[in-house]
Structure 1
Amino acid sequence: MACGDERAAEVLRGLVRPLNCLNEDNKATRKRALEAIKRETIDKGLSGAALQEVFSCLLGPLLKCTSDPVERCRETAVAMLSDFIRCVPRPEDSLVYLMPCLTQRLGGKEMAEPAEELRLAMMEMLSLTVEVCGGKQLAPYLDDVITILGVAIADPFPDVKKESCKCTVLFAKCVPDHFHMQAESLVKPLMQSISHQHSRVRVSVVEATGAVVQHGTGKHVDDVLSHMAQRLFDDSPQVRKAVTAVVGGWLLHMRDRYSYFHKLLPLLLSSITDEVPEISLLAAELWRKTGEQWERENEDDIKDKMDFLLAPPPLYPAGVSRPGLGCRELVVRNLGRLVPAVSHDVTDWLVPTRVKTSQLLGVLLLHAEDHCTQHLQPLLATLYLACADSEKEVVANCREAAKLLGFFVPPEVFLKLLLGHVEASSSSRCPWTPLMVLAAVLQGCSGPLLGPHLQKVSDTLARPDVCQESEQAVYLEQLVACVDALLLQCGGDCGAVSLQLLQVLLTVQSLSTEPLLNDKARESVQRLCQVQGLGDVSELYRQHMARLLDWLLASAKDWSGCSPQRLQLQIIAVQSGPVIGEFVGQLMALLRVCLQPNTDPEMRLSIFTMLAKLLLDAANSLDSQGSFSLESERFLCEVLLPNLVWQAGRTAAAVRTAALSCLLALLHGGSVTPGQLLCVEQKLSSQLVGGLQEDSPTARLFACRCLSIVLRLAGASLHPDALNKIYPELLKRLDDSSDQVRSVALKTLGLWLSCLCKDYNSQLYSAHLEFLFQQLLLHLDDPDSSVQEQVLGVLKAGSRVHPALLERETRAAKDKQRSPVHCDQLLRHIRSLPGGGEADEPRAAQPSD
């Protein structure tokens, strides 16, 4: 000891001059003096009692130098003080002088130390002091340290912020019994710095906040939770990791943690779904420890559950590890408080918040298991809100969460609520959300449990006010998803509700304008066949066709152009293929109701167009069984002909055109026999002649073609008076604006002439023939050479009817035409006939080649 004193005295004698120089006005002198002191003490490796004695003598001058005007002097003084504190045996002896100095330099309202590097050095010295002195020695200086930390945490220099946060953590651990008395004063500066632009600063602030709350009174947990929650969305993984570690530490060690479980659980559980594996694993481990600790602390309360409820439920998500009992109990006991908060945050204006909340919802439901039943109503309301989100990730997360309800909640419970919400969805802003949730829940439920409720679910989906509620693609898509879920879970049991499911899928196809959605619906129809072991779709339609047509017939009189039923009829008729021919009687009864002239014209237009396509391939559709001809005459009289009656308006004209196309397909397909045509000839001819006067060239063309087929099938059996009513309108079509109509009209006139058999008295009806020949001879001089050739062929056919009359009219017209070539050809043809030009007996004409 004496040796140490002698060594200290020797060193101090050598420092008399440098110490005196510290009071000089010359800054270079003061600087050299500090450097000399450092060389004679720290650099010479002085230690032990000697170093302590020297430090005691140098402390005052060095602390005074921390206020030196020269930055270099202050820097050297601070570095020497740090070295002394680090090396002396009893650094706590210096606290009585050191702490007031640091408080004056760092803790004042006005920044006493202007150099940020020196503020950092002083904060490092304070951290060192806290570390080497310990809590017992520092307790008397609690106010001074807290004052310094409060100012330093708000320092504009990032490194000072980080060091002050580090010091806060050290000080809180050193004086835990006293720290709580002043800890709350650090909350405000910490929260002001928690969103600093530097990620390392944010990490330090989060860690310091953890220490302040951990060793504080707990009064300010609410003040920091919202800020900590925001850091869960931080772009820096290190910040999120720090939040996770801090929150996990609170759950494990905070004194009053039981009072804050419902507020802390969401933060830690949110980190379990973090995209960075390191963070998610850390959160899972901390959560496991929290649950195990709670189990130990509450063993008496949960003893029965620990003994009997360790096995997972019989229906549990595949590939998912079941949380421990303590974790599950913590969630269950706080779920009532957590659900309202989740419901609130799932509609937050920030997308990351909604995404994180939707992930948290799934984690909560996985822990709650069958206890979800007690909170089903608010949970469903939350899911509806989330499923209406514009962010796809939010919707996907909530659908996965809804699937968990199917695992844990009995179907009789969730269906009672869900089906009611589906039926009442028309009043909601997003009517598809109950369907979306229903589809997800059904995917989670098992087939055996769902089987007894299959009829009820299918009947609800097939209700018109449900499946026809909206034409929005997202709504229809969820209808298909519900059907797919039933097919997936119940398989062959869906045969009992096959009709209802088919009705839903037909409705989707009839309402959807999206090709992809239509394809999905058709794929679902195929699956419906597969689960029943049916060969193809036609077998499915054969099974249900009678009830499907009755289903449509029930509302047929009320159909309009917007009714989905008209499209459902088209889908059934087209997709069923030959099967529709087995139910022609029912189909015709339906058509007689919906195609009356007093029904909606747009609807009739659509159905006539569909029928025309079917009739063109009648052998593979309507007439696949050869029974359509039994219904064709009635169909012609009661459906087609009434729709050919003229009515004003463009829509009515379009309907007549569609009806004519349907009539043409009927006649062309051979479904009407000549005998049937003769029975309706008078009405049919009258309407077709009227059709020749339509404004639409397409309608006139269809009418011409229909007349052509009628003449070919039954013209020879028509009364001459009936025949004479036809040709004048055909002659008018020779001046038609459509070349195609003119060509077909000429062909039809040729057929008309071929129908003049022996019953047609050419002498009696010579006036008709004369007028016909005169009009045809006018067009023999048509500007269009192709028309000339056609007319010539028709006249050659007509020459067999009354050659003498035609010869006379031809000679009369020859001199009036621009070119006599065709007249000469016609005259030569007439002279070549048996009897030459003197024949005046009627003969049957044949169409010219």
Structure 2
Amino acid sequence: MGELGKTENIRIMRNVNLLTSSEKIKRKNALLDISKELFGEGCCLVNEEELNNIFCDISISLLKTLSDDAEICRELGISLIRNFLLYLPVHEKYLSKVMPYLSQRIGDQKIIEPSEEIRLLLIQLLSLIVDRYGVLLSPYLNELVKILSNTVLDPYPVVKRESCECISLVANSLSKQFHLQSESLVKPTVNALTHQHYKVRLSAVNAISDIIRYGNSKSVDDVIGPLAERLFDSNSNVRLAVARAAGNWLLNFSDRYSYFHKILPLILTCLMDEIPDVKDKTLEYWESAGKQYETENDEELKDVKNYSFSTPSHYPQIARPRLGCRILVKNNFSKILPALIKELGDWTSEVRLKSACLLYQLILHLENNVTLNLEKVLTGMYFAAGDEEESIVKQVEKSAELIGYFVPPDVYCGLRL
């Protein structure tokens, strides 16, 4: 890359002066000329030192174009700033110039930027900054959260989606500091879970996954219910995203042991999804979680492992869940059961069916351990067996068949109504 000569420098400064012109066409052409002088056809035409000097000289004038009356000038200004940040070396001094202007433009609850397209460009610029600067953005975490908690509520769907993706970037890039501000993002991101566009819902699920993984563990209670509702989503990609989120938490969430009983119903329900691809990928997440649990509790499970390699002779013709998965369900079943029994009597048939599917998976994993809670289980099954929906009755029958494999007849017959 060559350096700008004196003539070119003079030309740039002349164009910078034109940015304050009262004529839109002059401001527009000035921005186009600056861009052409510096970046040409998609590449930087000057070295880093020269580019740094130019940005320091023109940054204030350039950043003021973000509030230009003409939309085209704001668009060109954003494009120029983006190119500067792409080609300048990563350094905090550039953040101190750019972040206050971004916060001012899209960090207020009242929409200041009227153009949907410009708001999208601004949030895309923010995503670029987060991706490039990473932990250097730590001093600006408050501004980042302020911006994103507003833009994720934007009426423009593409801005919502881009904001959700940027939230994930922030959570991953600032993982050590993110928990300090994460709670502020929960409510607005949950709001996006019910958007009519499935791509927005998908991005929102992914963002919530990262908010919980790197954020304040107290927020789990605020997201589990809304995520469970996405198990009824008409789009299979959204349901799979819920399974991925649950699998991610089971593997990586630092406080996962305290919340296993809340996470398990999400992933176990996805194991019964109507789409084979969702079932298969969910099983991969679930198997990984079970394997990790075995590794983390190797000493505790040593004796159990010695007697659990072979499948019992009287076992249904289906694949047996691995030991870690079975132990996870066994240890958390009593906390899951009360809500499950209640949902078997829910007023919506979709909830009753999902609950019946979850019950099947729980019994499959519990095996003979279901005996400890058999009376409560059978009470829920008796009620669901009289359901007006045939699909629910069939699912209950499948669960009853499993009990026949795992529980001696004299035990369950003694508990019949």
TM-score bucket (shorter structure):
over 0.9
Aligned residue in 2 for 1:213? 212
Q: Does 1:34 align with 2:31?
A: yes
**Aligned equivalents of 1:263, 1:199: Cα separation in 2:** 25
CA contact (8 A) 1:355 1:394 kept: yes
Measured against aligned partners, the alpha-carbon deviations of 1:386-441 in whole angstroms (never above 9, x if no partner) come to: 101111100000011011111001111111111xx1xxxxxxxxxxxxxxxxxxxx
Q: Does 1:299 align with 2:294?
A: no
Tell me which of 341, 344, 353 is aligned to 1:343: 341
Aligned residue in 1 for 2:375? 377
CA contact (8 A) 1:52 1:90 kept: no
**Aligned equivalents of 1:55, 1:222: Cα separation in 2:** 46
Residue identity opposite 1:88 in structure 2: L
Q: Does 1:402 align with 2:400?
A: yes
Aligned residue in 2 for 1:76? 76
**Aligned equivalents of 2:309, 2:347: Cα separation in 1:** 41
Other structure's SS at 1:112 match: coil
Residues 364 and 68 (structure 1 numbering): CA distance in 2 closer, same or farther, change over 3 Å? same
Residues 268 and 39 (structure 1 numbering): CA distance in 2 closer, same or farther, change over 3 Å? same
Other structure's SS at 1:209 match: helix
Shift, 1:86, TM fit: 1.3
CA contact (8 A) 1:365 1:401 kept: yes
Residue identity opposite 2:75 in structure 1: E
Q: Does 1:45 align with 2:42?
A: no
Residues 9 and 52 (structure 1 numbering): CA distance in 2 closer, same or farther, change over 3 Å? farther
Other structure's SS at 1:134 match: helix
**Aligned equivalents of 2:9, 2:200: Cα separation in 1:** 43
Unaligned runs of 5+ in 2: none
Other structure's SS at 1:205 match: helix
Q: RCO (CA 8 Å, sep 6+): is it higher in 1 or 2?
A: 2
Aligned residue in 1 for 2:410? 412
Residue identity opposite 2:111 in structure 1: M
Measured against aligned partners, the alpha-carbon deviations of 1:469-497 in whole angstroms (never above 9, x if no partner) come to: xxxxxxxxxxxxxxxxxxxxxxxxxxxxx
Other structure's SS at 2:374 match: helix
Residue identity opposite 1:45 in structure 2: L
Residue identity opposite 1:41 in structure 2: L
**Aligned equivalents of 2:80, 2:117: Cα separation in 1:** 15
Other structure's SS at 2:345 match: coil
Shift, 1:314, TM fit: 2.2
Shift, 1:322, TM fit: 0.5
CA contact (8 A) 2:345 2:384 kept: yes
Residue identity opposite 2:13 in structure 1: V
Shift, 1:120, TM fit: 0.1
Q: Does 1:189 align with 2:171?
A: no
Aligned residue in 2 for 1:115? 115
Other structure's SS at 2:177 match: helix
**Aligned equivalents of 2:17, 2:152: Cα separation in 1:** 37
Please tell me the root mean square deviation across aligned C-alpha atoms, in Å: 1.4
Residue identity opposite 2:211 in structure 1: V
**Aligned equivalents of 1:10, 1:387: Cα separation in 2:** 86
Identity %: 39
**Aligned equivalents of 2:349, 2:5: Cα separation in 1:** 68
Moved segments of 4+, more than 6 Å: none
Residues 16 and 304 (structure 1 numbering): CA distance in 2 closer, same or farther, change over 3 Å? same
Q: Does 1:16 align with 2:13?
A: yes
Other structure's SS at 2:4 match: helix
Measured against aligned partners, the alpha-carbon deviations of 1:523-576 in whole angstroms (never above 9, x if no partner) come to: xxxxxxxxxxxxxxxxxxxxxxxxxxxxxxxxxxxxxxxxxxxxxxxxxxxxxx
Aligned residue in 1 for 2:288? 289
Aligned residue in 1 for 2:329? 331
Shift, 1:56, TM fit: 2.3
**Aligned equivalents of 1:9, 1:206: Cα separation in 2:** 53
Shift, 1:51, TM fit: 1.9
Aligned residue in 1 for 2:313? 314
**Aligned equivalents of 1:205, 1:71: Cα separation in 2:** 29
Superposed, which structure 2 residues align to 1:658-669 within 5 Å? none
Aligned residue in 2 for 1:87? 87
CA contact (8 A) 2:90 2:132 kept: no
**Aligned equivalents of 1:353, 1:50: Cα separation in 2:** 63
CA contact (8 A) 2:243 2:282 kept: yes
Aligned residue in 2 for 1:608? none
Residue identity opposite 1:74 in structure 2: R
Residue identity opposite 2:96 in structure 1: V
Residues 10 and 208 (structure 1 numbering): CA distance in 2 closer, same or farther, change over 3 Å? farther
Residue identity opposite 2:20 in structure 1: N
**Aligned equivalents of 1:411, 1:235: Cα separation in 2:** 40
**Aligned equivalents of 2:166, 2:52: Cα separation in 1:** 25
**Aligned equivalents of 2:155, 2:198: Cα separation in 1:** 15
Superposed, which structure 2 residues align to 1:362-511 within 5 Å? 362-418=360-416, 421=417
**Aligned equivalents of 2:390, 2:5: Cα separation in 1:** 76
TM-score (normalizing by structure 1): 0.48
**Aligned equivalents of 2:364, 2:110: Cα separation in 1:** 54
**Aligned equivalents of 2:348, 2:199: Cα separation in 1:** 24
Other structure's SS at 1:417 match: coil
**Aligned equivalents of 1:260, 1:184: Cα separation in 2:** 17
Aligned residue in 2 for 1:63? 63
Shift, 1:47, TM fit: 3.7
Residues 327 and 235 (structure 1 numbering): CA distance in 2 closer, same or farther, change over 3 Å? same
Aligned residue in 2 for 1:276? 275
Other structure's SS at 1:151 match: helix
CA contact (8 A) 1:11 1:41 kept: no
Shift, 1:7, TM fit: 3.4
**Aligned equivalents of 2:278, 2:343: Cα separation in 1:** 22
Other structure's SS at 1:99 match: helix
Shift, 1:48, TM fit: 2.5
Measured against aligned partners, the alpha-carbon deviations of 1:503-524 in whole angstroms (never above 9, x if no partner) come to: xxxxxxxxxxxxxxxxxxxxxx
Other structure's SS at 1:69 match: coil
Aligned residue in 2 for 1:150? 149
CA contact (8 A) 1:22 1:29 kept: yes
If you compute each CA radius of gyration, which structure gives the higher value, 1 or 2? 1
CA contact (8 A) 1:343 1:382 kept: yes
**Aligned equivalents of 2:35, 2:366: Cα separation in 1:** 66
CA contact (8 A) 1:8 1:51 kept: no
**Aligned equivalents of 1:76, 1:155: Cα separation in 2:** 22
**Aligned equivalents of 2:194, 2:15: Cα separation in 1:** 47
Residue identity opposite 1:242 in structure 2: A
Aligned residue in 2 for 1:177? 176
Shift, 1:91, TM fit: 5.3
Count of residues in correspondence between the two structures: 414
Residue identity opposite 1:330 in structure 2: L
Residue identity opposite 1:150 in structure 2: S
Residues 38 and 268 (structure 1 numbering): CA distance in 2 closer, same or farther, change over 3 Å? same
Residue identity opposite 1:186 in structure 2: L
Other structure's SS at 1:156 match: coil
Residues 47 and 159 (structure 1 numbering): CA distance in 2 closer, same or farther, change over 3 Å? farther
**Aligned equivalents of 1:166, 1:8: Cα separation in 2:** 41
Superposed, which structure 2 residues align to 1:710-725 within 5 Å? none
CA contact (8 A) 2:120 2:159 kept: yes
Other structure's SS at 1:232 match: helix
Aligned residue in 2 for 1:665? none
Shift, 1:14, TM fit: 2.1
**Aligned equivalents of 1:198, 1:63: Cα separation in 2:** 33
CA contact (8 A) 1:214 1:250 kept: yes
CA contact (8 A) 1:362 1:398 kept: yes
**Aligned equivalents of 2:126, 2:249: Cα separation in 1:** 26
Residue identity opposite 1:350 in structure 2: T
